[in-house]
Structures are given as structure tokens and as C-alpha cells.
Amino acid sequence: MSGTRESSAALRGFGAVPAKRRHIKNTLILFCPADKRKDDKTQPRQGGGRRFSMKRAVITGVGAVTPVGIGKEEVWKNVKAGVCGIDRITRFDPSDFACQIAAEVKDFKPEDFMDKKEAKRMDLFVQYAVAAAKMAVDDAGLALDKEDGNRVGCIIGSGIGGISTLCEQHARLLEKGPGKVSPFMIPMMISNMAVGQVSIMFGCKGVNLTTVSACASGTDAMGQALLAIQRGDADIILTGGAEATVNELALAGFSSMKALSTRNDDPKGACSPFDKDRDGFVMGEGSGIMVLEELEHAKARGAHIIAEVVGYGSTNDAYHMTAPAPEGEGGARCMAAAVENAGIRPEDVDYINAHGTSTPYNDKYETAAIKTVFGEHAYKLAVSSTKSMTGHMLGAAGGIEGILTALAIEDGFLPATVNYRTPDPECDLDYVVNQGRAADITYAISNSLGFGGHNASVVLKKYID
């Protein structure tokens, strides 16, 4: 969600740029001697005051509830075909709003995934998470009741939590008084309840955490899950993101920030990342959850391995509430950190699933950040924004984009950036425009950048035993 327009830009201190540039350079010198470690990935690392040998983490199942379909097969088929899930908002009458479009999840029936009573106690974002988690567990062929629950964890991100529940109960407070506010309001609304309910449903009694870093939440969840598996804290972690913010209050708030596209007359063409005429992001919703599993555990049960997760970077711009730092310096440090953490060289990276929100600033600065980290190689690797199809699923974005990156590697197919019409001289990389294409991908990065200056990147790798 990073990257609002003029309003935020006016608040900046551009005088600080040279210092920040120096900072990037220094950081890269710190982060880049990755090749020295390249052939010795299993060496013990210092961490948290103790030494340990890192374990490997692989994705063995995925589940998705998205504006372009529900379930792995439907979502991947539609993403490959360039189907856009954006349309005029149906959940409420958007006529009074500057932005009247969103990427809503269609045809979601909670009773397909959980019983009616359970569903009633969940905000929509939690229902999405539970449904996606169930699909991921099924896809992984896991019988969780046969696992030791203490070795099964759950780390899911949500940027906002149960805002619709909050709004409904606030209306009751105003209309009927404090005695009529539902006792379920708090436990339905709080952002950690996706993790809470998924853990109840699947017996995740081990490592448990909710990441709340705005639009980086889902990627931070994946990254924290990776670290926990590498440390040996868990054998299995259900991880990803969930969000359900197609709601009057959320839409009004994002609208006031001038962050949203207002191409109401052309919903399908509204989200156009990296295009010269891009005019803002389009709100999406849903959940992407994956089963991240310790490699030996996955092999022992003969699991199908979709891709390996090998690196994580987390930084903050420390610059502005919503505007990205000039030249995307925070995002650059983050990608460099993820590459370093993976123990690879920048030129090993074949594909970046970009944050690519379609806001003027995000796409310009993310492009600059990619050039900072990858140099000439920036023009050789492929970059695409699947948000052009799914909309911006906010805290769920990292979850679904991590999944799409894994499927891209497994299937050997780069998903497109759709709606690309007019080249922007400031965005001059290979964005896989309008048509996806076959490609052999060994290493790929999924980027997420969030309000609050949060940056998160994960590195995925084709699984090779």
C-alpha cells in the first residue's frame, strides 16, 4: 500500500537524499559478500546468542481465496490467463465514493469450509484464512491429527483485521447503547484471530504469531515462519495473510489518502502497475495460506514439494508514514538483505513478483530499488505485478503473492502484469506485460512494502534435492 500521491510528497525533506544514497551504498557493501558463503549454506550461523545448523523449509501445500478464484487450480489458471478480478463494488452501494471499484472475492461460501456456528463467530477475514488454510492442508496431504501439535505452528499476517465487525458493532453502540454491543465483537475483530481460529481448527499448538506490518504483513509472516523452521522451532507452519476490507469505512479512508484508482468507468483496466498513466491501487481481499514444512519432515512423509523458501529480508524506510523513501532505498536494502540471507548473488535471481501497487510512487521507486540492488541484471530478470489481476489484497498480498511465486517456479511460467498500455521512462524493466510466458525460474523474490515504511522480501527457489 506504500505510495500515496502528491499529499505525502509535499511533506518530504528532499535535502536528505544524498545521505540516504550513501546509506544504501554502505548497506549494500555490508550485505553483498554473499558469494563468499554461497557454497557453504549449511554452516552454523550465530543467532540469538546460540549456534545452530539451519534447517531447510519447503512449501508443500497452498490454499487461496482470491478475487480471481478460490483454490489453487482455479487461481493459477486464471492468473496464467491474465484474468482480472476487479469490478464495481457489490458489497455496498459505492455511489458516494470517489473510488467505486474493488477486487472482491466472488462466490465464497464459508459453509464449504467450516460449520455454520464457527463461521458466525468469525469476521470475513478470519473465514477467508480458515478456508485458505484448509485448502493448503488438503493440498499438502497432511493429516494434522497424526502430527505432534507442539511441532505445528501458525503465523499469519493481517494489516487491518475485522474492520467490518468493528463498524457493525459501533453502529449498535450508537443506536442501541453499550449493553447491546456483541460479546463477540472483540474476539472477532482483533487481527490475531485468523491465527487463533486456524490454530483451533488444525491443532497448531506450537510457534504462534500474527504479523501486522500493513501490506507487508503476509510476507513478514512467511519470513518469520521461515526463520522458525530454520531454527528448528517447528516442523510445519501454516503461514500467509488474510484481509477483508471492502468496507465503507476502509474505502473512505484509503480514498481520502488519494491512494486509490478512480477509473470507475473501466474497472478491469484500472490497476495498471508500471504504466505511465497508473493512478492508484485497487483494493482487493482474500487470503493466501501455505504449508511451510521442514524439508526432512516433508521428505519422510513423501510430500510433494512445490518450492523451497531460502531467504528473508525485513527493513523499514524510517522515513514517512505512507510515502516510500526516495529511490526506494528501504525496499532496496530489504531485497539486498533477502538475497544475502539466501546466500546467493543478485544475478542468480530470475523473477521478482513486485509489490507493484499501481500507485505513481510505489512503482517508480520499486523499479529504482530493483536497479540499485541488481544493477545491469535488473534488465535481464523478469518483474511482474499480479496485483493487476488480484487487486491489492493488503495484508493478504504477501500470502497470495508468495503462493503465485512458488507456482510460477514450479510451473515454469511468469505471470503477466496486465493492463500495460503506455511505457513510463521511469519504469523501464521487463514487466512481462499483458501476456504471461514460459520461463525457467531458479530463484525468485516476492516483495511487499507497507505503510509505516515496512519492507519485506522473501526468496524462493526451485526445489532441488
Binding interface with other proteins (CB under 8 A): 115-117, 120, 176, 179-180, 182-184, 187
Give the single-character DSSP code of 53. Answer: P
Alpha helices (runs of H) in 177-312, residue ranges in sequence order: 185-189, 193-202, 217-231, 248-256, 295-300
Verify whether residue 154 is a known catalytic residue.
no
Considering beta carbons, is residue 18 or 183 the nearer one to other proteins?
183
Considering beta carbons, is residue 116 or 146 the nearer one to other proteins?
116
Q: How far is the CB of 208 from other proteins (least distance, A)?
A: 21
Verify whether residue 215 is a known catalytic residue.
yes
Among 215, 271, 334, 427, which one carries the catalytic annotation?
A: 215
Verify whether residue 392 is a known catalytic residue.
yes
Q: How far is the CB of 187 from other proteins (least distance, A)?
A: 7
d(CA 17, CA 331): 15
d(CA 218, CA 400): 8
d(CA 414, CA 427): 19
Considering beta carbons, is residue 51 or 116 the nearer one to other proteins?
116
CA 62 to mean position of chain CA atoms: 14
Strand partners, 124: none
Considering beta carbons, is residue 49 or 179 the nearer one to other proteins?
179
Q: How far is the CB of 164 from other proteins (least distance, A)?
A: 17
Considering beta carbons, is residue 88 or 176 the nearer one to other proteins?
176
Among 99, 320, 334, 392, which one carries the catalytic annotation?
A: 392
Q: What angle do CA 344, 364, 438 make, to 5 degrees?
A: 55
d(CA 230, CA 52): 9
Residue 234 C-alpha cell reads as 517447528
Q: How far is the CB of 169 from other proteins (least distance, A)?
A: 11
Among 204, 355, 427, 454, which one carries the catalytic annotation?
A: 355
Residue 95 C-alpha cell reads as 455511489
Q: How far is the CB of 120 from other proteins (least distance, A)?
A: 6
d(CA 85, CA 99): 16
- Phi, psi of 327, deg, nearest 5: 65, 10
> Residues with catalytic annotation?
215, 355, 392
